[in-house]
Amino acid sequence: MNIFGNRAAVLPLAVAATLAIAVPQASAQGLFDMLFGGGVRHNPQGEFPPPPKYKPKPNSGTGGGGGTRISSPSYYTYKADRLVRVDFTALMPKPQPAAPQDAAFVPSVTGNAFADAIAGLSDYELDAEPDIAKALIAYYSANPDFIWVSGTAPNSRAQDAVRVLGEAASYGLTPADYTVDVPATATSSATPNERLKELVRFEMSLSARVLRYAHDAQSGRVDPNRMTGYYDFPPKPLDMEGVLKTLAHTQEVRTYLESRHPQNPEYQALRVELEALQASEENEIVVDPKLLLKPGETSPELPKLLTLIARNLDDEMGGDYGEVLARLGKSEIYDPELVPVIKAVQKRAGMKGDGVIGPRTVASLAGTSKADKIGKVEVALEELRWLPSDLGSPRVFINQPAFTASYVDNGEVKLKTRVVIGRTTNQTAFFYKEIKQVDFHPYWGVPQSIIVNEMLPRLRSDPGYLDRAGYEVTDSRGKRVPSSAVNWGGYGANIPYSVRQLPSEANALGELKILFPNKHAIYMHDTPQKSFFERDMRALSHGCVRLQDPRGMAAAVLGTSVDYVVEKLKHGHSTENVTRTIPVYVAYFTAWPDMSGNVEYFGDIYDRDTRLMQALDATEAVRSPAS
């Protein structure tokens, strides 16, 4: 959604007065009725409710662009960087010009083991990522010595590095990506030159794979921005020469390599979950994922579900429902006494708790297999590597698959509220920024995509309806013009006008919005369509994030009270800057731990896990030929 800024218009103290000026004799509901034919409060659809159905006149002469639309971002076929052959010729000794016969003898300055070993690379084929290949040559040109070899054998640094690389699976990485052939203990049958050749090749191979590991641990194996226009992450540069310099001067190789991974509790909790899943048995209780059961109905699947509930009871749930489950746990009849149990389970899983056992209830208890959970956790670990290592405190964390937004401060969730996110056709992006401002009784700058895709059909036949409905139209110079004076059909998708909706009860943003400037023009806001929050599946907006508790979130980010927010709302349109550094993560995790470390699983509403797995497969396909 586009943000048009706060033009200098100063509204009267009461929003009602604004409405009276903008739309004479029209109440907020009347405004909607006039604009959309009534019924909006009962059947809302997105930020911009659709106009009433009408049939445009054929050949009406309204201009071209009848099929004009602005499309959403795309998903791309992921292309990983191809590996390159490391060119070791730059490390080879340069031939020296012949000295005059009477010149004094000068001892060789390259008479050391590494210099002698370089010749063993002349026919060595080592493939690596382009930046790693470049870093290897740059480092060893400036530092012609071994890191991983002492004397005639791999040293303790090498042993630690190889162990860390071998444990890559515990981080959801693929150990084969970091495999290195470790030289066997020297034997009397090998000549010194053969041994040096073996050691220098081990040196280069281990350095290449250590650099790959450090990169993957810090930034992930794929570049998310290459996957889709919905992803927007700044680069996380890695000084690869600096990595090798550090490793050459430390004995704490394990500590250093492990420090490349995100250093936050969420990453650690996901690692613990992955280890537990890998050690666990497959689900022995399988419940029909399409089960639909209402109170009083019968199903042989019910005892399976009740067994799973009983197995995972905590102290609170056990105290409330343990006796009922013990008595009715084998029942195939959905007894009314079991309804409170099911409702409690549903609410704990973030559902509305209607007592009807359906696919989402089953999925929350038994619908995710061990393999699926492992996949979700590995995807989550990869996605966390795209974010800052320290997520910051305080912070706002929006998890789209969970349909929730949380305000986290000092390791505690101080506020958690339901959200509505973008429809599958208007997906919410995945990125992070900093919260900058709260707008009270905001204007809604209508995005060009909504003007073109949703307003334009009506405007072609009724160009003046924005004037009657509480919207302002301005030209490219910011000058206000009547909607009726615009030839809406004459520009295709490149409409040189801006549209914004005035503050009102009918405003698509409700009574406030919370801004964190970004190229996707996404922000958090209130909504007049409160009924959407009662649904379990809340991918219903044009892409922005609607908050069930906007006042609470505004108070949290402003570091004030809800009473303060309420008072501000009494005085019409205003803005207030957020003076603290508060990162906001508009995130997408189908596996995510709560603050106690318990991992919850959610549906892949945009099918992004599948796309990430495809990108990882593409990366593996490139890396697999590497030695």
Predicted local distance difference test score (pLDDT) of residue 348: 81
Q: What is the pLDDT of residue 160?
A: 98
Q: What are the extents of the domains in the chain?
A: 15-72+400-601, 84-221+237-274, 302-365
Residue 395's pLDDT band, with cuts at 50, 70 and 90, is very high
Query: What's residue 71's pLDDT?
Result: 78
What residue type is 599 in one-letter code?
Answer: V
Percent of the chain with pLDDT over 70: 85
Local structure of 62: helix, strand or coil: coil
**DSSP code, position 132:** H
- Rounded CA separation 420/524 (Å): 10
Percentage of the chain lying above the pLDDT 90 cut: 62
Work out the angle between the directed axes of helices 130-142 and 240-248 (0-180°, nearest 10).
50
Share of the chain residues as helix, strand and coil, in percent rounded to the nearest 5: 40, 15, 45
> Over 90: is that where the pLDDT of 626 sits?
no
For residue 404, pLDDT over 90 is answered with yes
Measured CA to CA, the distance from residue 533 to residue 279 in angstroms comes to 38
pLDDT reading at 611 higher than 90: yes
Residue 77 in this model has a pLDDT that exceeds 80? yes
pLDDT of residue 489: 85
* Torsion sign, CA atoms 105, 106, 110, 113: positive
In the predicted structure, residue 565 carries a pLDDT above the cut 70 = yes
The pLDDT, as a whole number, for residue 606 is 97
**Residue 63, pLDDT above cutoff 60:** no
Please provide the average confidence, as pLDDT, over all residues in the chain: 85
Structure tokens, 377:
């956790």
**pLDDT value of position 96:** 58
Q: Minimal CA–CA distance to 203: which of 159, 154, 249?
A: 154
Task: Reply yes or no on whether the pLDDT at 19 is more than 80.
Answer: no
Mean pLDDT score, 379-400: 98
343 close to 351: Cβ distance less than 8 angstroms = no
Q: What is the mean pLDDT of residues 31-60?
A: 35
pLDDT at 575 over 50: yes
Question: Could you tell me the pLDDT band of residue 100, with boundaries at 50, 70 and 90?
Answer: low
Question: What are the tens digits of pLDDT across the range 552-561?
Answer: 999 999 999 9
What are 87's two structure tokens? 């060119």
In angstroms, the Cα distances linking 216 to 129, 335, 383, 589 are: 12, 52, 11, 19
Averaging pLDDT over each range in 217-221, 361-365, 474-478, which range is the top one?
A: 217-221
* pLDDT score at 432: 98
Q: Which has the closest alpha carbon to 19: 8, 32, 3?
A: 32
Could you tell me which residue, 111 or 316, shows the higher pLDDT?
A: 316
Joined together, the tokens standing for residue 519 give 């190229």
Residue 285: pLDDT above 90?
no
177-197, pLDDT tens digit by residue?
Answer: 999 999 987 666 778 888 999
Predicted pLDDT at 511: 95
- Quote the distance between the C-alpha of residue 59 and its chain's center: 46
pLDDT above 50 for 95: yes
Contact assessment for residue 557 and residue 582, using Cβ atoms and an 8 Å cutoff: yes
Confidence (pLDDT) at 188 = 61
Please give the pLDDT value at position 97.
Answer: 58
- Rg (Cα) of the chain, in Å, rounded? 31
Give the pLDDT confidence of 243-279 residue by residue, as tens digits.
Answer: 999 999 999 999 999 999 999 999 999 999 999 999 9
Q: What is the pLDDT of residue 620?
A: 95
